[in-house]
Amino acid sequence: PKEGVELVAAGNLRLIDVRTPQETSGGIIPGAVLIPLDQLEARLGEIPRDGAPTMIYCAAGGRSAAACEFLSSQGFRNLMNLEGGFSSWAGPRARP
């Protein structure tokens, strides 16, 4: 989580939130794109395949780990899972 905050602050990171819209009502990491895990396969085209560092997060880290595995199997690289998920996030938060 600490490294994630530093990467977000530096502006060198794409963010994908795989929680449900209901879960994001409590906030998101500023700049994150919401693609719920159950929509990820159908919305792959929305994620650039440019190799930019991409941090995936959910509420606690389990679904985002699964999302990272799936995206990796689809050829995406430079993926990171936010350990502990949004509940461990100590950086800035925004309303969706």
Which residues are designated catalytic?
58
Residues 76 and 54: their CA atoms lie apart, in Å, by 9
Instruction: Measure the CA–CA gap between 60 and 43, rounded to whole angstroms.
Output: 22
